[in-house]
Amino acid sequence: MPRGFRICLGLLLCLLLCLLQPLRAAVETEAELRRIEELVAAGALPRRALGQAQREFLQAGYRKTLRRTLLKQDLTAAEIPAMLDAAEGLRNVAKERLDVAMKQVEAGALPARRLAEATEALKSAARQLELAQSRAKIVRQMVRQASAESYFDELEQEELAYKFEGFTIYEMDALNEIDELYYQAFREPPPISAEGDTPLHRSLGLDHTGRVDIAIHPDSEEGMYLTFLLEGWGIPYIAFRSAVPGQSTGPHVHVGPPSERIPVEALPDAGSGGGLQPEDRPASAAER
């Protein structure tokens, strides 16, 4: 089922690796920074060397955070702020360096090629920020989709969700055939957002084993074709026109029976960060 999805993920990771290959900063560890502080204090280095070292140390921290989060397969909603802060920090540093380079080139203190290098560095940092923002949007969307089952009754009342019970006996292996038929119809595989059990679902108290989430609107041409195929094979599904009560966000089709609830004692720690953040939590009826 995830054939096309894995290919797209591989291409995305290659792109991210290319964008995250800056020149090594001169100061990457706290020990190196302390050493420069001592040399400046002793008069062995000019004071401006300390400011440069502090900027390089901060930039190295941003890069480390971005590598750890942007390429992480199971990125959680709690890690998004650090990822965005790092990407924005690198963009800001690149912007400051470009401003300095422009002044130095105008003053004749730097060759013009340094300005072109600084301009390209800013473009690269801006692309990294765009990728981080896109990744954050996808993860938050996945959180909303994963939590949608918990609000099914309310969504059903608002006609934002409905389900097909399926046959008593059905084969999830038929999804491979459905995948082929879908590909023949639309020349692309179904856009899978979650397959099987995931840390995100477990953090929400749901066992998603043997289930698949497809990120398409059930009322779209693709969504209606998919649900038609699922019903033909007797495979149960839950169609969400929205994943959040009172809003139009996170439409998808949950393939398989409803996820089973995980016993409270088996849930991950509350501080693991995979669940709904305040901005992702559906508003209650009183709040809307």
Helices and strands counted in the chain (H then E): 9, 7
* pLDDT for the residue 49: 79
Mean pLDDT by 10 residues, the chain (288 residues): 48 49 54 80 81 83 90 82 94 91 87 90 94 87 76 84 86 86 93 84 81 92 95 92 70 89 57 44 35
CA distance 239 to 225: 12
Residue 100 has a CB neighbour count (10 Å cut-off) of 13
* pLDDT for the residue 271: 43
Contacts of 114 by beta carbon, 8 Å cutoff, 6+ apart: 101, 104, 105
Backbone angles phi, psi at 168, to 5 degrees: -60, -40
CA distance 185 to 182: 5
Q: Which amino acid is at 195?
A: E
* pLDDT for the residue 247: 58
Contacts of 222 by beta carbon, 8 Å cutoff, 6+ apart: 182, 186, 190, 216
Enter the tokens of residue 181: 């038929």
Enter the tokens of residue 166: 């399926």
CA distance 220 to 110: 57
Is the Cα dihedral 84, 89, 94, 100 positive or negative? positive
Closest among 126, 255, 129 to 192, alpha carbons compared: 255
Q: Decide: 192 and 215 in contact? Cβ < 8 Å.
A: yes
Residue 38 has a CB neighbour count (10 Å cut-off) of 11
